[in-house]
Chain A
Amino acid sequence: MKLKVNRTTIEVFEGAEIRQALLTYLARRRMSLKFIDQLEVFDVWGHEIDQGAPVSQYSQVKLKFKN
Protein backbone atom coordinates (compact mmCIF):
# COMPACT_ATOMS: atom_id res chain seq x y z
CA MET A 1 0.00 0.00 0.00
CA LYS A 2 1.31 3.41 -0.95
CA LEU A 3 0.54 6.74 0.67
CA LYS A 4 1.74 10.22 -0.11
CA VAL A 5 2.77 12.01 3.08
CA ASN A 6 3.25 15.68 2.27
CA ARG A 7 5.26 15.27 -0.94
CA THR A 8 6.89 11.93 -0.13
CA THR A 9 5.40 8.65 -1.31
CA ILE A 10 5.97 5.84 1.14
CA GLU A 11 5.04 2.17 1.11
CA VAL A 12 3.55 0.48 4.16
CA PHE A 13 2.33 -3.01 4.97
CA GLU A 14 -1.23 -4.08 4.23
CA GLY A 15 -3.53 -3.11 7.07
CA ALA A 16 -1.28 -0.29 8.32
CA GLU A 17 -2.62 2.66 10.23
CA ILE A 18 -1.66 6.29 9.66
CA ARG A 19 0.58 6.17 12.76
CA GLN A 20 2.76 3.49 11.17
CA ALA A 21 2.91 5.44 7.92
CA LEU A 22 4.10 8.49 9.84
CA LEU A 23 6.81 6.45 11.58
CA THR A 24 7.99 5.22 8.19
CA TYR A 25 7.89 8.78 6.87
CA LEU A 26 9.96 10.07 9.80
CA ALA A 27 12.43 7.18 9.50
CA ARG A 28 12.80 7.78 5.76
CA ARG A 29 13.36 11.48 6.32
CA ARG A 30 15.84 10.65 9.12
CA MET A 31 13.78 12.68 11.56
CA SER A 32 13.38 11.79 15.23
CA LEU A 33 10.55 9.30 15.78
CA LYS A 34 9.67 11.32 18.88
CA PHE A 35 8.03 13.87 16.59
CA ILE A 36 5.20 11.40 16.06
CA ASP A 37 3.19 12.78 18.97
CA GLN A 38 3.67 16.37 17.83
CA LEU A 39 2.13 15.86 14.41
CA GLU A 40 -1.40 16.65 13.32
CA VAL A 41 -2.63 14.85 10.21
CA PHE A 42 -5.07 16.22 7.63
CA ASP A 43 -6.75 14.70 4.60
CA VAL A 44 -6.81 16.42 1.21
CA TRP A 45 -10.04 18.16 2.18
CA GLY A 46 -8.34 19.71 5.22
CA HIS A 47 -10.12 17.57 7.83
CA GLU A 48 -8.11 16.43 10.79
CA ILE A 49 -7.78 12.65 10.98
CA ASP A 50 -6.35 10.60 13.78
CA GLN A 51 -3.31 8.39 13.71
CA GLY A 52 -5.41 5.26 14.21
CA ALA A 53 -7.12 5.73 10.83
CA PRO A 54 -6.55 2.99 8.23
CA VAL A 55 -4.07 3.95 5.50
CA SER A 56 -6.30 2.21 2.96
CA GLN A 57 -8.73 5.11 3.26
CA TYR A 58 -6.25 7.66 2.00
CA SER A 59 -4.00 8.26 -0.96
CA GLN A 60 -2.51 11.42 0.49
CA VAL A 61 -2.21 13.12 3.87
CA LYS A 62 -0.59 16.34 5.03
CA LEU A 63 1.24 16.92 8.27
CA LYS A 64 1.49 19.93 10.53
CA PHE A 65 3.29 20.35 13.80
CA LYS A 66 0.94 21.01 16.69
CA ASN A 67 1.01 24.57 18.02
Chain B
Amino acid sequence: MRKFVFALVLLLAGATAWAGPKKELHILSANDMHAAIECMPRLGFVADSLRALYPDLLVLSAGDNRSGEPLNDMYEIPAYPMVALMNIIGFNATTLGNHEFDSGQQGLAKLISMSSFPSLCANVQPDAKWNMHVKPYQLYDCGGIKVAVLGAVALSPMGIPESHPMNTTDMKFTAPLATIQQYQFLRQQCDVMLLLSHLGYETDVEFSKELPWVDVIVGGHSHTQLKGGELHNGVFITQNKNRLQCVTHTTITVEDGKVVDRKAENIAIRGQQNENKVIAALVEYFSHNPAFHRVLAQVDTPFECYEELGCMVCDAYKQEGQADVSFQNAGGVRYDKFAVGGFSVADALRLDPFQNEAIELNLTGKELADMLVKCYMNDNKVFPYVGGMKAAYTIDPATRDIKKLVLTDEAGKKLDPKKTYKVVTNSYAVAISPTNRKDAGRGIGKITAQLVMSYLEHQGHVSYQGVRRLTEKK
Protein backbone atom coordinates (compact mmCIF):
# COMPACT_ATOMS: atom_id res chain seq x y z
CA MET B 1 0.00 0.00 0.00
CA ARG B 2 2.80 2.40 0.96
CA LYS B 3 4.52 1.64 -2.35
CA PHE B 4 1.29 2.40 -4.21
CA VAL B 5 0.77 5.74 -2.40
CA PHE B 6 4.42 6.66 -3.00
CA ALA B 7 4.09 5.85 -6.70
CA LEU B 8 0.91 7.89 -6.92
CA VAL B 9 2.55 10.89 -5.25
CA LEU B 10 5.49 10.61 -7.65
CA LEU B 11 3.13 10.37 -10.60
CA LEU B 12 1.14 13.43 -9.54
CA ALA B 13 4.33 15.39 -8.79
CA GLY B 14 5.62 14.45 -12.21
CA ALA B 15 2.41 15.45 -13.89
CA THR B 16 2.49 18.81 -12.12
CA ALA B 17 6.07 19.34 -13.17
CA TRP B 18 5.32 18.59 -16.85
CA ALA B 19 2.25 20.77 -17.11
CA GLY B 20 3.18 24.38 -17.72
CA PRO B 21 1.44 27.05 -15.71
CA LYS B 22 -1.98 28.09 -16.94
CA LYS B 23 -2.00 31.51 -18.51
CA GLU B 24 -4.91 33.71 -19.44
CA LEU B 25 -5.35 35.81 -22.55
CA HIS B 26 -7.86 38.64 -22.22
CA ILE B 27 -9.52 40.18 -25.26
CA LEU B 28 -11.81 43.19 -25.40
CA SER B 29 -13.63 43.20 -28.73
CA ALA B 30 -16.03 45.54 -30.46
CA ASN B 31 -17.71 45.22 -33.84
CA ASP B 32 -19.76 47.44 -36.14
CA MET B 33 -19.10 50.56 -34.05
CA HIS B 34 -20.42 52.65 -36.96
CA ALA B 35 -18.85 55.82 -35.64
CA ALA B 36 -20.70 55.86 -32.33
CA ILE B 37 -18.21 58.45 -31.10
CA GLU B 38 -20.45 59.37 -28.17
CA CYS B 39 -19.78 55.89 -26.72
CA MET B 40 -16.00 56.02 -27.10
CA PRO B 41 -15.32 57.66 -23.68
CA ARG B 42 -17.13 54.77 -22.00
CA LEU B 43 -15.29 52.22 -24.15
CA GLY B 44 -12.03 53.93 -23.19
CA PHE B 45 -12.94 53.60 -19.51
CA VAL B 46 -13.71 49.90 -19.91
CA ALA B 47 -10.44 49.31 -21.80
CA ASP B 48 -8.46 51.21 -19.13
CA SER B 49 -10.13 49.23 -16.33
CA LEU B 50 -9.48 45.87 -17.94
CA ARG B 51 -5.91 46.86 -18.83
CA ALA B 52 -5.27 47.74 -15.18
CA LEU B 53 -6.20 44.16 -14.30
CA TYR B 54 -4.71 42.51 -17.38
CA PRO B 55 -1.80 44.56 -18.76
CA ASP B 56 -1.55 42.38 -21.88
CA LEU B 57 -5.18 42.98 -22.87
CA LEU B 58 -5.76 42.67 -26.61
CA VAL B 59 -8.26 45.24 -27.92
CA LEU B 60 -9.80 44.35 -31.29
CA SER B 61 -12.40 45.63 -33.71
CA ALA B 62 -14.16 43.33 -36.17
CA GLY B 63 -14.71 46.15 -38.67
CA ASP B 64 -17.26 48.78 -39.75
CA ASN B 65 -15.71 51.40 -37.51
CA ARG B 66 -17.09 54.24 -39.66
CA SER B 67 -20.36 55.18 -41.45
CA GLY B 68 -23.28 56.23 -39.31
CA GLU B 69 -22.39 59.59 -37.77
CA PRO B 70 -21.81 62.78 -39.78
CA LEU B 71 -19.49 64.20 -37.12
CA ASN B 72 -17.14 61.36 -38.05
CA ASP B 73 -17.96 60.62 -41.66
CA MET B 74 -17.93 64.24 -42.82
CA TYR B 75 -14.88 65.42 -40.95
CA GLU B 76 -12.26 67.23 -43.07
CA ILE B 77 -10.46 63.90 -43.27
CA PRO B 78 -13.56 61.69 -43.44
CA ALA B 79 -13.75 59.15 -40.59
CA TYR B 80 -10.59 60.45 -38.90
CA PRO B 81 -12.28 61.03 -35.50
CA MET B 82 -12.86 57.30 -35.03
CA VAL B 83 -9.25 56.54 -35.93
CA ALA B 84 -8.02 59.13 -33.43
CA LEU B 85 -10.30 57.75 -30.71
CA MET B 86 -9.29 54.15 -31.43
CA ASN B 87 -5.63 55.19 -31.31
CA ILE B 88 -6.06 56.76 -27.88
CA ILE B 89 -8.04 53.80 -26.54
CA GLY B 90 -5.21 51.56 -27.64
CA PHE B 91 -6.78 49.25 -30.17
CA ASN B 92 -4.35 46.52 -31.21
CA ALA B 93 -5.99 45.69 -34.56
CA THR B 94 -9.05 46.04 -36.72
CA THR B 95 -10.22 44.11 -39.70
CA LEU B 96 -11.73 45.94 -42.65
CA GLY B 97 -15.51 45.94 -42.68
CA ASN B 98 -17.39 46.63 -45.89
CA HIS B 99 -18.04 50.20 -44.70
CA GLU B 100 -14.31 50.91 -44.34
CA PHE B 101 -14.38 51.03 -48.15
CA ASP B 102 -16.89 53.91 -48.01
CA SER B 103 -13.82 56.13 -47.59
CA GLY B 104 -12.72 55.30 -51.13
CA GLN B 105 -9.28 53.94 -51.91
CA GLN B 106 -7.28 57.08 -51.15
CA GLY B 107 -9.35 57.88 -48.07
CA LEU B 108 -8.92 54.39 -46.66
CA ALA B 109 -5.18 54.41 -47.38
CA LYS B 110 -4.89 57.70 -45.49
CA LEU B 111 -6.90 56.44 -42.51
CA ILE B 112 -4.79 53.28 -42.30
CA SER B 113 -1.61 55.37 -42.37
CA MET B 114 -2.98 57.47 -39.49
CA SER B 115 -3.88 54.43 -37.38
CA SER B 116 -1.55 53.26 -34.66
CA PHE B 117 -2.93 49.73 -35.08
CA PRO B 118 -2.80 47.46 -38.12
CA SER B 119 -5.70 46.80 -40.49
CA LEU B 120 -5.84 43.05 -40.99
CA CYS B 121 -7.70 41.56 -43.93
CA ALA B 122 -6.36 38.51 -45.75
CA ASN B 123 -8.80 38.51 -48.68
CA VAL B 124 -8.06 42.07 -49.86
CA GLN B 125 -5.09 42.92 -52.06
CA PRO B 126 -5.08 46.62 -52.97
CA ASP B 127 -3.17 47.71 -56.05
CA ALA B 128 0.24 49.10 -55.07
CA LYS B 129 -0.73 52.51 -56.47
CA TRP B 130 -3.07 53.09 -53.50
CA ASN B 131 -0.19 52.68 -51.01
CA MET B 132 -2.66 50.99 -48.69
CA HIS B 133 -1.02 49.03 -45.90
CA VAL B 134 -3.43 46.16 -45.33
CA LYS B 135 -1.86 43.10 -43.73
CA PRO B 136 -3.40 39.63 -43.70
CA TYR B 137 -2.41 38.84 -40.12
CA GLN B 138 -0.38 39.97 -37.14
CA LEU B 139 1.38 38.02 -34.40
CA TYR B 140 1.21 39.28 -30.80
CA ASP B 141 2.99 38.23 -27.63
CA CYS B 142 0.50 38.77 -24.82
CA GLY B 143 2.35 38.04 -21.58
CA GLY B 144 4.03 34.99 -23.03
CA ILE B 145 0.99 33.78 -24.99
CA LYS B 146 1.59 33.86 -28.72
CA VAL B 147 -1.52 35.04 -30.54
CA ALA B 148 -2.08 35.09 -34.30
CA VAL B 149 -4.85 37.42 -35.51
CA LEU B 150 -6.05 36.92 -39.09
CA GLY B 151 -8.64 39.21 -40.70
CA ALA B 152 -11.30 38.70 -43.40
CA VAL B 153 -14.20 40.63 -44.92
CA ALA B 154 -17.46 39.39 -46.47
CA LEU B 155 -17.98 39.77 -50.20
CA SER B 156 -21.29 40.39 -51.95
CA PRO B 157 -22.41 38.23 -54.90
CA MET B 158 -20.54 40.78 -57.08
CA GLY B 159 -17.30 39.62 -55.43
CA ILE B 160 -16.62 42.92 -53.65
CA PRO B 161 -17.49 44.19 -50.16
CA GLU B 162 -20.89 45.90 -49.83
CA SER B 163 -19.80 49.43 -50.66
CA HIS B 164 -20.07 51.44 -53.85
CA PRO B 165 -18.24 49.58 -56.66
CA MET B 166 -16.23 52.75 -57.42
CA ASN B 167 -14.70 52.44 -53.94
CA THR B 168 -13.21 49.05 -54.69
CA THR B 169 -11.74 49.41 -58.16
CA ASP B 170 -8.11 48.33 -58.52
CA MET B 171 -8.42 46.13 -55.48
CA LYS B 172 -8.39 42.37 -55.66
CA PHE B 173 -10.73 40.36 -53.45
CA THR B 174 -10.50 36.63 -52.91
CA ALA B 175 -13.01 34.13 -51.54
CA PRO B 176 -12.85 34.34 -47.73
CA LEU B 177 -12.76 30.63 -46.80
CA ALA B 178 -10.18 29.57 -49.40
CA THR B 179 -8.03 32.55 -48.42
CA ILE B 180 -8.26 31.86 -44.70
CA GLN B 181 -7.25 28.23 -45.30
CA GLN B 182 -3.98 29.46 -46.84
CA TYR B 183 -2.95 30.77 -43.42
CA GLN B 184 -3.21 27.48 -41.57
CA PHE B 185 0.59 27.59 -41.16
CA LEU B 186 0.02 30.23 -38.46
CA ARG B 187 -1.25 27.48 -36.18
CA GLN B 188 2.35 26.27 -35.78
CA GLN B 189 3.51 29.75 -34.77
CA CYS B 190 1.01 30.56 -32.04
CA ASP B 191 -0.77 29.34 -28.93
CA VAL B 192 -4.06 31.05 -29.81
CA MET B 193 -5.37 31.35 -33.37
CA LEU B 194 -7.92 34.13 -33.70
CA LEU B 195 -9.98 35.05 -36.77
CA LEU B 196 -11.08 38.69 -36.80
CA SER B 197 -14.10 38.29 -39.03
CA HIS B 198 -16.36 40.73 -40.80
CA LEU B 199 -18.17 37.82 -42.40
CA GLY B 200 -21.39 37.67 -40.35
CA TYR B 201 -22.58 35.21 -37.73
CA GLU B 202 -24.01 32.55 -40.05
CA THR B 203 -20.82 32.48 -42.11
CA ASP B 204 -18.73 32.29 -38.94
CA VAL B 205 -20.73 29.24 -37.84
CA GLU B 206 -20.48 27.67 -41.30
CA PHE B 207 -16.74 28.32 -41.52
CA SER B 208 -16.18 26.85 -38.04
CA LYS B 209 -16.78 23.40 -39.58
CA GLU B 210 -13.87 23.97 -41.96
CA LEU B 211 -11.52 25.72 -39.55
CA PRO B 212 -10.79 23.35 -36.66
CA TRP B 213 -7.36 24.98 -36.34
CA VAL B 214 -8.96 28.29 -35.28
CA ASP B 215 -9.62 28.81 -31.56
CA VAL B 216 -11.73 31.97 -31.58
CA ILE B 217 -13.70 33.99 -34.13
CA VAL B 218 -14.25 37.59 -33.10
CA GLY B 219 -17.10 38.37 -35.45
CA GLY B 220 -19.00 41.29 -36.93
CA HIS B 221 -21.16 42.39 -39.87
CA SER B 222 -24.51 40.75 -39.01
CA HIS B 223 -24.97 42.81 -35.80
CA THR B 224 -25.89 39.65 -33.90
CA GLN B 225 -26.15 39.90 -30.13
CA LEU B 226 -24.58 36.80 -28.60
CA LYS B 227 -24.69 36.17 -24.89
CA GLY B 228 -20.95 36.22 -24.34
CA GLY B 229 -19.72 33.64 -26.80
CA GLU B 230 -20.88 30.39 -28.39
CA LEU B 231 -18.98 27.23 -29.18
CA HIS B 232 -19.63 25.86 -32.67
CA ASN B 233 -17.70 22.85 -33.96
CA GLY B 234 -15.01 23.53 -31.40
CA VAL B 235 -14.59 27.19 -32.41
CA PHE B 236 -15.58 29.95 -29.96
CA ILE B 237 -17.54 32.77 -31.63
CA THR B 238 -18.34 36.24 -30.29
CA GLN B 239 -20.30 39.18 -31.69
CA ASN B 240 -22.46 42.11 -30.53
CA LYS B 241 -25.12 44.40 -31.95
CA ASN B 242 -23.91 47.61 -33.54
CA ARG B 243 -23.03 51.12 -32.36
CA LEU B 244 -21.36 49.99 -29.15
CA GLN B 245 -24.39 48.81 -27.30
CA CYS B 246 -22.10 46.10 -25.88
CA VAL B 247 -18.57 44.84 -26.19
CA THR B 248 -17.21 41.40 -25.33
CA HIS B 249 -14.55 40.50 -22.80
CA THR B 250 -13.19 37.08 -23.70
CA THR B 251 -10.90 35.06 -21.45
CA ILE B 252 -8.87 32.27 -23.02
CA THR B 253 -6.94 29.91 -20.80
CA VAL B 254 -3.79 28.40 -22.28
CA GLU B 255 -1.82 25.51 -20.86
CA ASP B 256 1.24 24.01 -22.52
CA GLY B 257 0.62 26.06 -25.64
CA LYS B 258 -2.93 24.79 -26.00
CA VAL B 259 -6.24 26.47 -25.38
CA VAL B 260 -7.98 24.63 -22.53
CA ASP B 261 -10.84 27.00 -21.74
CA ARG B 262 -12.74 29.86 -23.40
CA LYS B 263 -15.39 32.08 -21.87
CA ALA B 264 -16.83 35.50 -22.59
CA GLU B 265 -19.06 38.13 -21.07
CA ASN B 266 -20.82 41.16 -22.54
CA ILE B 267 -20.05 44.58 -21.13
CA ALA B 268 -22.68 47.28 -21.72
CA ILE B 269 -21.31 50.48 -23.22
CA ARG B 270 -24.15 52.65 -24.52
CA GLY B 271 -25.86 54.69 -21.86
CA GLN B 272 -23.52 53.61 -19.08
CA GLN B 273 -21.71 55.88 -16.62
CA ASN B 274 -17.95 56.25 -16.00
CA GLU B 275 -15.96 57.62 -18.88
CA ASN B 276 -12.36 58.31 -19.78
CA LYS B 277 -12.28 62.10 -19.45
CA VAL B 278 -9.49 62.64 -21.97
CA ILE B 279 -11.46 60.75 -24.60
CA ALA B 280 -14.63 62.63 -23.61
CA ALA B 281 -12.78 65.92 -24.20
CA LEU B 282 -11.64 64.70 -27.61
CA VAL B 283 -15.20 63.71 -28.55
CA GLU B 284 -16.34 67.16 -27.43
CA TYR B 285 -13.70 68.69 -29.70
CA PHE B 286 -14.83 66.62 -32.68
CA SER B 287 -18.46 67.53 -31.92
CA HIS B 288 -17.73 71.23 -32.32
CA ASN B 289 -15.97 70.89 -35.58
CA PRO B 290 -15.79 74.29 -37.31
CA ALA B 291 -15.94 72.48 -40.65
CA PHE B 292 -19.65 71.95 -40.03
CA HIS B 293 -20.15 75.70 -40.34
CA ARG B 294 -18.49 75.76 -43.75
CA VAL B 295 -20.73 77.57 -46.22
CA LEU B 296 -21.66 75.45 -49.22
CA ALA B 297 -23.72 77.99 -51.19
CA GLN B 298 -25.35 81.38 -50.95
CA VAL B 299 -29.13 81.47 -50.69
CA ASP B 300 -30.16 84.43 -52.85
CA THR B 301 -33.89 84.51 -52.03
CA PRO B 302 -35.46 83.16 -48.84
CA PHE B 303 -36.99 79.69 -48.69
CA GLU B 304 -40.54 80.22 -47.44
CA CYS B 305 -42.17 76.77 -47.34
CA TYR B 306 -41.40 73.04 -47.21
CA GLU B 307 -42.01 72.61 -50.93
CA GLU B 308 -39.29 75.07 -51.91
CA LEU B 309 -36.75 73.22 -49.76
CA GLY B 310 -38.15 69.89 -51.00
CA CYS B 311 -37.64 71.01 -54.60
CA MET B 312 -34.03 71.87 -53.86
CA VAL B 313 -33.47 68.44 -52.25
CA CYS B 314 -35.01 66.72 -55.26
CA ASP B 315 -32.88 68.75 -57.67
CA ALA B 316 -29.86 67.61 -55.69
CA TYR B 317 -30.93 63.96 -56.04
CA LYS B 318 -31.55 64.41 -59.77
CA GLN B 319 -28.33 66.23 -60.58
CA GLU B 320 -25.88 64.50 -58.23
CA GLY B 321 -27.52 61.10 -58.79
CA GLN B 322 -27.51 61.68 -62.58
CA ALA B 323 -31.19 60.77 -62.74
CA ASP B 324 -34.05 61.70 -65.08
CA VAL B 325 -36.41 62.37 -62.21
CA SER B 326 -36.34 62.25 -58.41
CA PHE B 327 -38.61 62.39 -55.40
CA GLN B 328 -38.38 62.78 -51.65
CA ASN B 329 -40.97 61.85 -49.02
CA ALA B 330 -42.43 65.02 -47.56
CA GLY B 331 -41.70 64.05 -43.95
CA GLY B 332 -37.99 63.90 -44.75
CA VAL B 333 -37.68 67.69 -45.17
CA ARG B 334 -37.22 68.98 -41.66
CA TYR B 335 -37.66 72.73 -41.83
CA ASP B 336 -39.66 75.13 -43.95
CA LYS B 337 -37.85 78.46 -43.82
CA PHE B 338 -34.35 79.63 -44.56
CA ALA B 339 -33.21 83.23 -44.77
CA VAL B 340 -30.96 84.78 -47.41
CA GLY B 341 -27.29 84.07 -46.67
CA GLY B 342 -24.88 81.19 -46.38
CA PHE B 343 -26.14 77.57 -46.39
CA SER B 344 -23.70 75.47 -44.33
CA VAL B 345 -22.90 71.77 -43.87
CA ALA B 346 -24.77 71.88 -40.54
CA ASP B 347 -27.82 73.39 -42.28
CA ALA B 348 -27.78 70.54 -44.81
CA LEU B 349 -27.57 67.94 -42.04
CA ARG B 350 -30.42 69.64 -40.16
CA LEU B 351 -32.52 69.66 -43.31
CA ASP B 352 -31.92 65.94 -43.93
CA PRO B 353 -30.77 64.41 -40.63
CA PHE B 354 -31.85 60.80 -41.10
CA GLN B 355 -28.75 59.31 -42.70
CA ASN B 356 -30.93 57.81 -45.43
CA GLU B 357 -29.10 56.29 -48.33
CA ALA B 358 -29.63 57.53 -51.90
CA ILE B 359 -31.27 54.79 -54.00
CA GLU B 360 -31.54 54.56 -57.77
CA LEU B 361 -34.25 52.63 -59.58
CA ASN B 362 -35.16 52.14 -63.21
CA LEU B 363 -38.93 52.58 -63.33
CA THR B 364 -41.49 52.91 -66.05
CA GLY B 365 -43.73 55.97 -65.89
CA LYS B 366 -46.51 53.72 -64.57
CA GLU B 367 -44.27 52.18 -61.89
CA LEU B 368 -43.12 55.65 -60.84
CA ALA B 369 -46.70 56.88 -60.49
CA ASP B 370 -47.65 53.82 -58.42
CA MET B 371 -44.66 54.36 -56.18
CA LEU B 372 -45.48 58.05 -55.62
CA VAL B 373 -49.04 57.17 -54.66
CA LYS B 374 -47.84 54.49 -52.23
CA CYS B 375 -45.31 56.90 -50.74
CA TYR B 376 -48.13 59.46 -50.30
CA MET B 377 -50.34 56.88 -48.58
CA ASN B 378 -47.64 55.80 -46.14
CA ASP B 379 -46.21 59.26 -45.41
CA ASN B 380 -49.28 60.69 -43.66
CA LYS B 381 -50.99 61.39 -46.99
CA VAL B 382 -48.65 64.21 -47.91
CA PHE B 383 -47.45 64.09 -51.52
CA PRO B 384 -43.70 63.62 -52.03
CA TYR B 385 -41.63 66.48 -53.41
CA VAL B 386 -40.38 65.90 -56.95
CA GLY B 387 -37.50 66.87 -59.23
CA GLY B 388 -37.33 66.81 -63.03
CA MET B 389 -41.12 66.57 -63.19
CA LYS B 390 -44.36 68.06 -61.93
CA ALA B 391 -47.28 66.25 -60.32
CA ALA B 392 -50.97 67.15 -60.45
CA TYR B 393 -53.11 64.93 -58.25
CA THR B 394 -56.79 64.80 -57.43
CA ILE B 395 -57.80 63.98 -53.87
CA ASP B 396 -60.99 62.41 -52.59
CA PRO B 397 -62.01 65.01 -49.98
CA ALA B 398 -63.57 62.38 -47.71
CA THR B 399 -60.71 59.89 -47.54
CA ARG B 400 -57.83 62.02 -48.85
CA ASP B 401 -56.93 59.10 -51.12
CA ILE B 402 -55.50 60.00 -54.54
CA LYS B 403 -58.08 59.47 -57.29
CA LYS B 404 -55.95 60.65 -60.22
CA LEU B 405 -52.29 61.50 -60.77
CA VAL B 406 -50.73 63.18 -63.81
CA LEU B 407 -46.96 63.43 -64.07
CA THR B 408 -45.37 65.80 -66.56
CA ASP B 409 -41.78 66.63 -67.34
CA GLU B 410 -40.31 70.10 -66.84
CA ALA B 411 -41.57 71.17 -70.29
CA GLY B 412 -45.11 70.13 -69.42
CA LYS B 413 -45.15 66.91 -71.49
CA LYS B 414 -46.79 63.88 -69.85
CA LEU B 415 -44.44 61.14 -68.70
CA ASP B 416 -44.76 58.02 -70.83
CA PRO B 417 -46.24 55.17 -68.70
CA LYS B 418 -44.17 52.63 -70.66
CA LYS B 419 -40.89 54.48 -70.93
CA THR B 420 -38.18 53.67 -68.37
CA TYR B 421 -36.81 56.53 -66.29
CA LYS B 422 -33.84 56.57 -63.99
CA VAL B 423 -35.19 57.65 -60.61
CA VAL B 424 -33.26 58.65 -57.50
CA THR B 425 -34.90 58.87 -54.10
CA ASN B 426 -34.03 57.98 -50.52
CA SER B 427 -34.02 54.60 -48.77
CA TYR B 428 -36.94 55.52 -46.50
CA ALA B 429 -39.19 56.45 -49.42
CA VAL B 430 -38.31 53.17 -51.18
CA ALA B 431 -38.95 51.14 -48.03
CA ILE B 432 -42.40 52.63 -47.35
CA SER B 433 -43.51 52.36 -50.99
CA PRO B 434 -43.79 48.65 -51.79
CA THR B 435 -45.31 48.22 -55.24
CA ASN B 436 -45.10 45.67 -58.00
CA ARG B 437 -42.07 47.05 -59.81
CA LYS B 438 -39.43 45.11 -61.69
CA ASP B 439 -36.45 46.94 -60.23
CA ALA B 440 -36.10 46.78 -56.44
CA GLY B 441 -33.37 49.44 -56.62
CA ARG B 442 -29.87 49.76 -55.30
CA GLY B 443 -27.90 52.09 -53.07
CA ILE B 444 -25.51 54.48 -54.81
CA GLY B 445 -23.09 54.52 -51.88
CA LYS B 446 -23.96 57.97 -50.56
CA ILE B 447 -26.32 59.32 -47.97
CA THR B 448 -28.84 61.81 -49.33
CA ALA B 449 -27.45 64.71 -47.27
CA GLN B 450 -24.18 64.23 -49.18
CA LEU B 451 -26.05 64.74 -52.46
CA VAL B 452 -27.56 67.95 -51.10
CA MET B 453 -24.14 69.20 -50.02
CA SER B 454 -22.50 68.36 -53.34
CA TYR B 455 -25.35 70.04 -55.22
CA LEU B 456 -25.06 73.25 -53.20
CA GLU B 457 -21.29 73.33 -53.68
CA HIS B 458 -21.70 72.85 -57.41
CA GLN B 459 -24.41 75.52 -57.64
CA GLY B 460 -22.70 78.22 -55.57
CA HIS B 461 -25.94 80.21 -55.45
CA VAL B 462 -29.52 78.93 -55.10
CA SER B 463 -32.92 80.57 -55.39
CA TYR B 464 -36.17 78.62 -55.04
CA GLN B 465 -38.59 81.37 -54.11
CA GLY B 466 -41.97 80.60 -55.65
CA VAL B 467 -40.92 77.23 -57.13
CA ARG B 468 -43.95 74.90 -57.09
CA ARG B 469 -44.16 71.46 -58.71
CA LEU B 470 -47.17 69.96 -56.94
CA THR B 471 -50.77 70.81 -57.73
CA GLU B 472 -53.52 69.39 -55.55
CA LYS B 473 -57.08 69.29 -56.86
CA LYS B 474 -60.22 68.25 -55.01
Contacts and interface: CB of A to CB of B under 8 A. Distances in A.
Interface of A: 1, 10-17, 19-21, 23-24, 27-28, 33, 43, 45, 47-50, 52-54, 56-58
B434 A24 contact: yes
B26 interface: no
Given A11-B440, A52-B68, A43 B162 contact: no
A13 B222 contact: no
B327 interface: no
B443 A27 contact: no
Nearest to A53: B223
Given A13-B359, A16-B427, A43-B201, 4 more contacts: A13-B441, A24-B432, A27-B378, A57-B201
Interface residues of B, number: 35
Contacts of A27: 374, 378, 431-434
Contact of B221 (A11, A19, A57): A57
A15 to B, nearest CB: 4
Nearest to A11: B440
12 contacts: A13-B427, A13-B430, A15-B162, A20-B427, A24-B431, A27-B374, A47-B201, A47-B226, A53-B224, A54-B223, A57-B221, A58-B202
Chain A contact residues: helix, strand, loop or mixed: mixed
B156 interface: yes
Contacts of A20: 427-428, 430-431
A56 B242 CA distance: 16
B225 interface: yes
B176 to A, nearest CB: 14
Given A20-B427, A43-B224, A57 B374 contact: no
Contact of B241 (A21, A49, A58): A49
B442 interface: yes
B432 A13 contact: no
B34 interface: yes
A67 to B, nearest CB: 16
Nearest to A23: B431
B200 interface: yes
Nearest to B436: A11
A30 B434 CA distance: 11
Interface in B400-433: 427-428, 430-433
B116 interface: no
A6 B357 CA distance: 25
Contacts of B223: 49-50, 52-54
Contacts of B225: 47-50
Contacts of B98: 54
B245 interface: yes
